[in-house]
Structures are given as structure tokens and as C-alpha cells.
């Protein structure tokens, strides 16, 4: 795999429906719809037998039953699915500590460094599928590739119960015929604009070239071009241990335009930096969360070369992440900045303790430096960075998040 990265994307097959079939074996082989049965009910999950009739998640139940009148409708049992999800994730975590949950039934698993223990990635993917089936009684589909977005596309290619590997060196060939909508972050507006230029597949996009894409979409164009070349440096950010600290605000009026969004992010980056300094922490991973007027939520994250508690570095990173978001023609109701992967300055202090005993103990000096920095940088309201503009500092209305970065069951749309 390029750069020796091997990433799995695992997604359970017809998750809610499969759990119900496991619990009620008499349903096996039948078309099963999990969801509200009432007139306004919606299908949450459809078994693969029901999909043959055209039944799908998010379809009105009435439509699904018209397509497949013999389907068995089962009311959802969310507590049960959450419990099964935990069991599935516990299996994932035996194979690698780097498990990033995306929703209740799917995760990225970074196999970096597991080769010595488990052997080559394809074998790990197979072993994982067997373990999930034996221990939880459910099937899943797995994609294996060198980068996240390819692993995610791959896992959907041979559903249900499939394993799809994109071997190193074949990434471009794999991507070339795919419709552009398969690329992350290529929304309907971007698709429309590209289609007007005759761009329908990822291969077309690549041929259009970086310069033309940048001219059309700015940094977002650059991002798309990189994806078309199978370049995606996003790391798998594990849920465990990766506590996050963040600040987000919801706006009464949608925020429009990059300059205004950058000001919002500055306010949030400053808040996050304040709290990092207050807790004596530095963070390496920065995450941008942004939700548009249609409630489409996107997140982007990056890893910094070194841990920081500096608002300018956090703001710069958040702005870079913003460049990869389609902002044109969209208004945003929420923005947020959060950080993960903390490093405590205590580590530096401990290292210093290994120095010769004749040197003065560094702890008080380190503490003093931090305190001065806090006072200098965050001492009072007047020191709030001028670049933030004249708006009142968002504060009491803002939601402070202090949670796991990827709560299960949070879906992107």
C-alpha cells in the first residue's frame, strides 16, 4: 500500500434489520423492514431480501410496503442496536487500537503497526469478518485501501458480506470510471458545475487538471484534484483515549462567505486555546465542524506538525480545513473548532527531571511561563484578537463540547 498505510472501512450489512433477524430467526430469508409502521413511518433499515423489491433506508414506510407488500415490519429497538454496536466495536478494537467510529455500524480501522501481530492486511480483514460473525452473529462488508476515502468506497462495492481490496498501485485505475459524486465533499452544486464542463467521472476530473479546478473552486478544487489522485492524508482518529475539547456556535442568521466564516472560526479557535492553556494541554489534531442551512453537517480534521495551544495556529488550521469545504452558494448555521490528541507539558517537565541534579527544578519556571502567557494572551477581554472584528465575542451562547470526537450514531446527513 502506498506509504505503507493500510486502512479498513467496515460497515455492518443492513444493520438494524440484521440484528432483528438474529433475534428472531424465523425472519431469516424474509424481506424485513425496520421502522415506524404508522402512516408517517419511515424505513430505518431494509434487509437485502427487501431491497430486491426496491425498499431502502429513509423511504416512507407506505412506499416500501407498496413495493413489497409481504414485507415484515419490525419496530426499531435502539437500545438493542447500541448494545450490539458496542460488541462489534469491541471486536474491532482487538485488531487495532486505531478505531474511528463513523456511525453506529461503521468504523475506520488503521492497521499501521499491526502486521507483526496479525500478518498482512488482507488476512486481517478476513479474520475480522470471521470474528464479527462468530462472536456477534452478523455479517459486515469491508474495504481495504491505502487511504480513508478509498477504503470507504471499497466497503460499499460488494455488499453484503463482501471484502474489497484496492491493491497498492491500482488506486488510479479504480477511481477513473467512478462518478464524481463518489468523492467526499463533492455535493450536488459542485457536480452540476463540473458536469457543465463535461466532467462526469473521476478520470474526467483528473484530466481537467489542477489549475482549471483551482480556478473554478479555489482550494476546494485542489482538494478534489488530490482525491482524484487517491491522495488523502486524513488520519484515522481513534475514539478511545482521544478526548476532545471544543467550542461551537449556532447562529441566528446563516453565515455566508469565507471572510465571515473565518471570523467565526477565530472566535472559536481563541476559546479553544484559552481552555487548552487553562488545562495545561497542547493538542495535535484540529477538527472543523460546519453545518449549513439545510442541516448538512461536515467535519474535516488535520494533524499539526507539533502540538499547540496557540490560537493563531488553531485558527490557521481551521481556515485551511475550511478551504476544503464547498462554501459557494451556501449559508452556515453552525461552526465549531475542536481539538484532540493532547500532549501535557508535564511530559517536558518529566524529561527535564532527567537532567543533572545541579540544575534548578524546572517546574516553577515552566508554570510561571504558562501563567504569564495566559495573562499576556488571554488576560482580559481587550486582548481578544483584533482580527476577530468588532462583533461581540461569542461566549455564553456558545456550546462547549467536551466529548468523544465521534459519538456513535452521528451521521453526516
Residues 102-121 that bind ligand TTP (CB under 6 A): 104-106
Nearest residue (CB) to ligand TTP, 12 versus 272: 12
Quickly count: other Cβ atoms within 10 Å of residue 264's Cβ: 25
Shortest distance, position 44 Cβ to ligand TTP, whole Å: 3
Active-site choice (49, 106, 313, 326): 106
Q: Does 16 bind ligand TTP (CB under 6 A)?
A: yes
Shortest distance, position 331 Cβ to ligand TTP, whole Å: 24
- Under 8 Å CB-to-CB from 401, ≥6 apart: which residues? 244, 245, 246, 247, 248, 336, 338
Q: Which does 91 bind (CB under 5 to 8 A by kind): Mg ion, ligand TTP, none?
A: none
d(CA 256, CA 319): 15
Q: Return the residue of 36, 41, 137, 160 that touches ligand TTP, per CB under 6 A.
A: 160
Nearest residue (CB) to ligand TTP, 106 versus 204: 106
Q: Which residue has the cell 481556515?
A: 319
Q: Which residue has the cell 456513535?
A: 408
- Nearest Cα to 126, choosing from 86, 88, 164? 164
Build a one-symbol-per-residue string for 9-48: x at contacts with Mg ion by CB under 5 A, - elsewhere. Answer: --xx--x---------------------------------
- Under 8 Å CB-to-CB from 400, ≥6 apart: which residues? 246, 247, 275
Q: Does 153 bind ligand TTP (CB under 6 A)?
A: no
Q: Are 143 and 9 in contact (CB under 8 A)?
A: yes
Nearest residue (CB) to ligand TTP, 13 versus 110: 13
DSSP state letters, 241-298: S---EEEEEEEEEEEESHHHHHHHHHHHHHHHHHHHHHHT-EEEEEEEEEEETT--EE
Nearest residue (CB) to ligand TTP, 157 versus 399: 157
Q: Which stretch binds Mg ion (CB under 5 A): 7-15, 160-168, 362-370, 374-382?
A: 7-15
Q: Are 31 and 50 in contact (CB under 8 A)?
A: yes
192, 259, 262, 265 from 323: Cα distances, Å: 20, 11, 10, 12
Compute how many residues bind ligand TTP; rule: CB under 6 A.
Answer: 15
Q: Does 12 bind ligand TTP (CB under 6 A)?
A: yes
Compute how many residues bind Mg ion; rule: CB under 5 A.
Answer: 5
Sheet order of strands, 163-165 included: 99-103, 106-110, 7-12, 140-145, 163-165
The annotation status of 11 as a binding-site residue, yes or no, is: yes
Catalytic-residue membership of 106: yes
Helix (H, G, I), strand (E, B) or coil at 248: strand
d(CA 46, CA 31): 7
User: DSSP alpha helices (H): ranges in 109-209?
Assistant: 115-118, 121-136, 148-155, 171-175, 188-196, 202-208
Build a one-symbol-per-residue string for 27-66: x at contacts with ligand TTP by CB under 6 A, - elsewhere. Answer: -----------------xx-----------xx--------
Nearest residue (CB) to ligand TTP, 142 versus 314: 142
The annotation status of 294 as a binding-site residue, yes or no, is: no
Q: Which does 317 bind (CB under 5 to 8 A by kind): Mg ion, ligand TTP, none?
A: none
C-alpha 114 chain-centroid distance: 22
Task: Show binding-site residues for Mg(2+).
Answer: 11, 105
So which residues are the catalytic ones?
106
Q: What is the binding site for ligand TTP (CB under 6 A)?
A: 11-16, 44-45, 57-58, 104-106, 159-160
Task: Show binding-site residues.
Answer: 11, 105
Q: What is the binding site for Mg ion (CB under 5 A)?
A: 11-12, 15, 105-106
Amino acid at each position: 500500500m502506498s506509504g505503507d498505510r493500510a486502512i479498513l472501512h467496515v460497515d455492518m450489512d443492513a444493520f438494524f434489520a440484521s440484528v432483528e433477524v438474529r433475534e428472531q430467526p424465523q425472519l431469516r430469508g424474509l424481506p424485513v423492514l425496520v421502522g415506524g409502521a404508522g402512516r408517517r413511518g419511515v424505513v430505518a433499515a431494509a434487509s437485502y431480501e427487501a431491497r430486491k423489491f426496491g425498499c431502502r433506508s429513509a423511504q416512507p414506510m407506505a412506499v416500501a410496503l407498496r413495493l413489497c407488500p409481504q414485507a415484515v415490519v419490525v419496530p426499531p429497538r435502539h437500545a438493542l442496536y447500541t448494545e450490539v454496536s458496542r460488541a462489534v466495536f469491541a471486536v474491532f478494537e482487538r485488531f487495532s487500537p486505531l478505531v474511528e467510529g463513523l456511525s453506529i455500524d461503521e468504523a475506520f480501522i488503521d492497521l499501521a503497526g499491526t502486521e507483526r501481530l496479525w500478518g498482512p492486511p488482507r488476512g486481517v480483514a478476513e479474520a475480522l469478518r470471521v470474528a464479527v460473525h462468530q462472536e456477534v452473529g452478523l455479517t459486515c462488508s469491508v474495504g481495504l485501501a491505502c487511504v480513508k476515502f478509498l477504503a470507504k468506497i471499497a466497503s460499499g462495492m460488494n455488499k453484503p458480506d463482501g471484502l474489497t481490496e484496492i491493491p497498492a498501485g491500482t488506486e488510479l485505475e479504480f477511481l477513473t470510471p467512478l462518478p464524481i459524486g463518489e468523492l467526499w465533499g463533492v455535493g450536488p452544486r459542485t457536480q452540476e458545475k463540473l458536469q457543465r464542463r463535461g466532467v462526469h467521472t473521476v478520470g474526467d476530473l483528473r484530466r481537467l487538471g489542477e489549475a482549471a479546478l483551482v480556478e473554478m473552486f479555489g482550494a476546494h478544487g485542489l482538494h478534489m484534484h488530490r482525491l482524484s489522485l487517491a491522495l488523502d492524508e486524513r488520519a484515522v482518529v481513534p475514539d478511545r483515549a482521544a478526548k476532545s475539547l471544543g467550542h461551537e456556535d449556532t447562529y441566528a442568521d446563516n453565515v455566508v462567505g469565507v471572510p465571515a466564516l473565518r471570523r467565526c472560526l477565530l472566535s472559536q479557535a481563541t476559546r479553544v486555546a484559552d481552555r487548552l492553556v487553562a488545562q495545561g494541554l497542547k493538542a495535535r489534531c484540529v477538527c472543523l465542524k460546519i453545518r449549513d442551512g439545510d442541516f448538512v453537517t461536515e467535519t474535516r480534521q488535520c494533524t499539526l506538525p507539533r502540538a499547540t495551544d496557540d490560537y493563531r495556529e488553531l485558527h490557521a488550521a481551521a481556515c485551511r480545513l475550511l478551504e476544503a469545504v464547498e462554501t459557494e452558494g451556501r449559508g452556515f448555521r453552525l461552526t465549531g473548532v475542536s481539538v484532540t490528541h493532547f500532549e501535557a507539558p508535564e511530559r517536558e517537565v518529566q524529561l527535564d527531571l532527567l537532567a543533572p541534579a545541579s540544575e534548578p527544578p524546572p517546574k516553577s519556571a515552566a508554570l510561571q511561563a504558562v501563567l504569564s502567557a495566559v495573562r499576556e494572551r488571554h488576560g482580559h477581554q481587550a486582548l481578544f484578537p483584533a482580527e476577530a472584528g468588532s462583533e461581540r465575542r461569542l461566549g455564553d451562547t456558545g456550546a462547549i463540547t467536551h466529548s468523544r470526537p465521534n459519538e456513535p450514531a452521528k451521521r453526516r446527513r
